[in-house]
Amino acid sequence: MRGKSEGSADTLTREHFFKNAVGECPEVDIQIDAIPFRCLLDTGSNDSTLTESFFRDHLHGEDDDMHCTAKWIKLTAANKLPLPYLGYVELDIQVAGLTIPEYGFLIIKDDDTNKNKTLLYQALLE
């Protein structure tokens, strides 16, 4: 292999692969309504999201607390599949020592991979 005379190791282990080829998702500590938690900081996202379970279980949100915006915007994931969501809320958040009033979140429907997870749009910190 070019640049390395001995090339790759003969046997590739799962541990070696994940250590060298797969990065960790950056996370940041924030607070919503004085509830501290860690969320993913997605540099490629266009929106900030809260899962339905986080919204209902931790923020005690109800359907009437969300703005219905499904007629205005359709979301797709990076793989181009639809990302079902319920609505939009604006909440005051604290991040990196700053309070950001009326920060917008889309409330996405739960699935097996995202229960109680929050994604924060990277542009928030720029």
- The pLDDT value given to residue 40: 82
Task: Write the pLDDT tens digit of every residue in 29-74.
Answer: 899 888 888 888 877 777 888 889 889 988 899 999 999 988 888 8
Measured CA to CA, the distance from residue 119 to residue 105 in angstroms comes to: 9
- The pLDDT value given to residue 87: 93
Tell how far CA 124 is from the center of its chain. Answer: 12
Task: Write the pLDDT tens digit of every residue in 70-107.
Answer: 888 888 877 888 888 899 999 999 988 899 999 999 99
User: Which run of H or E residues covers position 55?
Assistant: helix 52-57
Q: Where does the pLDDT of residue 4 fall: very low under 50, low under 70, confident under 90, or very high at 90 and above?
A: low
**How many other C-beta atoms can be found within 10 angstroms of the C-beta atom of residue 31?**
13
Query: What is the pTM (predicted TM-score) of this model?
Result: 0.73
- The pLDDT value given to residue 46: 78
Q: Is the pLDDT of residue 121 over 60?
A: no
Instruction: Mention every residue, 6+ apart, whose C-beta is less than 8 A from residue 63.
Output: 86, 87
Task: Write the pLDDT tens digit of every residue in 19-28.
Answer: 888 877 788 8
Q: What is the CA radius of gyration of the chain?
A: 19
